[in-house]
Amino acid sequence: MSDAQPITGCRSGEVAEHVFLCGDPARLDRITGGWKACREVCNVREYRIITGEDDGLRVTAASTGIGAPSTAIVLEELTKLGSHTYIRVGNSGGLDPTLELGELVITSGAVRDDGTSKTYVLPEYPALAHHRVIAALEDAAAEREVQHHTGITWSLDAFYARNAVLEEDGRLGSMSVGGYWPEHLAARIRAMQAAGVLNCEMESGVLLTLAGLFGLRAGCICVVSDRTPWPGPATIDLDRNMTACIEVARAAMQALA
């Protein structure tokens, strides 16, 4: 009987035990640059998956698309085929005002403000990065003298509803259609900042929750590509320092293997 997975179509032998995850399918070309014997084993919907060899280590890179539901699907399917160590390489919004664009944030744990992880387990269950993945990422960043921070990430749904523009008078303005902006959304951003949460993105919560449930090693390293709330005109730089982020993740994966 075939073990082809229902969404990605991947089968046994097509994916490695060690996996890089990213949201954007186009980023796989940068992650896999320099790999040998690359083979694209999936290209469907938001999912693109490439397996190859990086400095002697068999590895896979997979895109998750945006958000928790699609991330959970690819994590489930790759894990069923034998993958067990995951590093997410992504973009994030900086919540801590001291963060500079292009700096890296290594997630120690995530605030689970997504819906998908709550369908798996009660909301009190923690979303924690594996301690060895955290250490490997920190060591790799330090060795390369890349500016980085380690701390809590706010993992959320609804990109526009959870983000805001900082107006000249200090108020938070809406990024949603027609200025839709319930007051509790503004309060949530301020609450995360008051709690010392470093950054926000949309995948770490479900990734780390499922890793805990399934006994996997997982972690996240993200570039600060914008600020939350966005100051003045909305600006985002998805590429700034991404090369360094990828190199740190690749070095960390070698250490983990």
pLDDT mean by block of 10 residues, the chain; 257 residues: 90 98 96 97 97 98 98 98 98 93 96 97 98 98 97 94 78 84 86 96 98 98 88 67 96 98
Q: Is 28 helix (H, G, I), strand (E, B) or coil?
A: helix
**What Cα–Cα distance (Å) separates residue 218 from each residue in 20, 28, 152?**
10, 18, 15
Q: What is the C-alpha to C-alpha distance for residues 42 and 213, in angstroms, rounded to an integer?
A: 26
Q: What is the C-alpha to C-alpha distance for residues 227 and 229, in angstroms, rounded to an integer?
A: 6
Q: What is the C-alpha to C-alpha distance for residues 117 and 204, in angstroms, rounded to an integer?
A: 10
pLDDT on residue 233: 47
13 in the Ramachandran plot: left (φ > 0), alpha (ψ -120 to 50) or beta? left
pLDDT on residue 231: 65
Enter the tokens of residue 158.
């609804």
Angle at 51 between CA 46 and CA 52, to 5 degrees: 145
Does domain 18-256 fall into CATH 3.40.50.1580? yes
Each domain of the chain, given as residue ranges in start order, spans: 18-256
pTM over 0.85: yes
